């Protein structure tokens, strides 16, 4: 969503380097987005589940939004809600196919991953795994699915045959996994505050990067979010306010990527669990630790929220 507004000098491989940015004020992009959000700052809530939502994600064409709850029933929506039942435990994370807007995959604590087709609302494949799954992603060409479990084992599944292609056991806490867009490197964040980078498909270590002084997850416990150039393996910006992401405070901080200039602040009534930008429009889906205070202040509400709607809608 962001346009480049600043350039950074070269740096030593894998190191964080601070650079001085000279700016005469907010860029035209920043001013334009601030003006847009002034007229599109409405948030709408959708009661999607009976328990808290762990994951939200948009299909590649932006026509559907899927959510994964701490119950057994993921849901997808294209104007109306469709529930997809089958898991025997909580849905920890979901991920859409990178190019097919009808397929998504879910990771569950029931020791399975499931591939779903939203056209039928049915599970088209179930893959039994060795542990309770907590993270999952699809590679850029859609041929491979990677999943990580609570035992810090990452398994690579052939998306067509649904069989394991490779498996790696790590001696540290594995939190988040992802490929680069060129599909030749695989990344994972760990409990030691590092990003580990491997060549793909060889899975040979390329470069460990010390990114944070504490546990490195999607939102880091040291109150920093870091933006990295994966070609040069350098940190190009640190967002000390946790800009662009949800946080444990009761708001979401939206920032311009290159400069960190604040664009908007989305107020929330509780800490944010998950956020996802629409792939084509400035619409932000998110879920919080909401409670159903109307009847039971301890009961989880299971709502999905959408920010960026016109104020007069």
* pLDDT, tens digit, 9 for 90 and up, residues 47-56: 876 677 888 9
Look over the chain and give the mean of its residue pLDDT values, rounded to a whole number: 79
Higher pLDDT, 208 or 297: 208
Q: Which of 133-147, 162-176, 239-253, 277-291 has the lowest mean pLDDT?
A: 239-253
Q: List pLDDT tens digits, range 205-259.
A: 987 776 544 444 443 334 456 777 777 767 777 765 444 444 456 889 898 887 8
Q: Enumerate domains of the chain plus CATH numbers.
A: 26-45+223-313 (2.130.10.10)
- Which pLDDT belongs to residue 190? 82
Choose from 25-34, 84-93, 143-152, 217-226 the range with maximum mean pLDDT: 143-152
* Rounded average pLDDT over 153-168: 95
* Rounded average pLDDT over 163-189: 92
Report whether 59 contacts 96 (CB < 8 A).
yes
229: number of Cβ within 10 Å:
12
- Which pLDDT belongs to residue 192? 74
Total-model pTM: 0.77
Q: List pLDDT tens digits, range 84-106.
A: 566 767 788 899 999 999 999 99
Query: Could you tell me what percent of the chain has a pLDDT over 70?
Result: 72
């Amino acid at each position: 969503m962001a346009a480049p507004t600043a350039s950074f000098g070269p740096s030593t491989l894998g190191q964080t380097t601070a650079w001085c940015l000279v700016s005469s004020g907010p860029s035209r992009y920043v001013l334009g987005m601030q003006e847009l959000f002034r007229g599109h700052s409405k948030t709408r809530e959708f009661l999607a589940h009976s328990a808290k939502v762990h994951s939200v994600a948009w299909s590649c064409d932006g026509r559907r939004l899927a959510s994964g709850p701490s119950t057994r029933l993921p849901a997808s929506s294209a104007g109306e809600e469709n529930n997809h039942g089958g898991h025997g435990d909580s849905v920890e994370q979901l991920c859409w196919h990178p190019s097919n807007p009808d397929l998504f995959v879910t990771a569950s604590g029931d020791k399975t991953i499931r591939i779903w087709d939203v056209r039928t609302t049915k599970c088209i494949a179930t893959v039994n795994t060795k542990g309770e799954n907590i993270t999952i992603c699809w590679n850029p060409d859609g041929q491979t699915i990677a999943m990580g479990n609570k035992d810090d084992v990452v398994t690579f599944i052939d998306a067509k045959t649904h069989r394991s292609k490779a498996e790696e056991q790590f001696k540290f806490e594995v939190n988040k996994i992802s490929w680069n867009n060129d599909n030749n490197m695989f990344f994972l964040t760990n409990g030691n505050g590092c990003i580990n980078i491997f060549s793909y498909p060889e899975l040979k270590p390329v470069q460990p990067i010390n990114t944070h002084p504490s546990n490195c997850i999607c939102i880091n416990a040291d109150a920093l979010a870091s933006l990295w150039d994966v070609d040069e393996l350098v940190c190009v910006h640190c967002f000390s306010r946790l800009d662009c992401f949800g946080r444990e405070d009761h708001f979401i901080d939206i920032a311009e990527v290159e400069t960190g200039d604040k664009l908007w602040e989305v107020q929330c009534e509780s800490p944010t669990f998950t956020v996802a930008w629409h792939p084509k429009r400035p619409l932000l889906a998110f879920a919080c630790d909401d409670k159903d205070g109307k009847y039971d202040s301890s009961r989880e509400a299971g709502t999905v929220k959408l920010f960026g709607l016109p104020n007069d809608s």
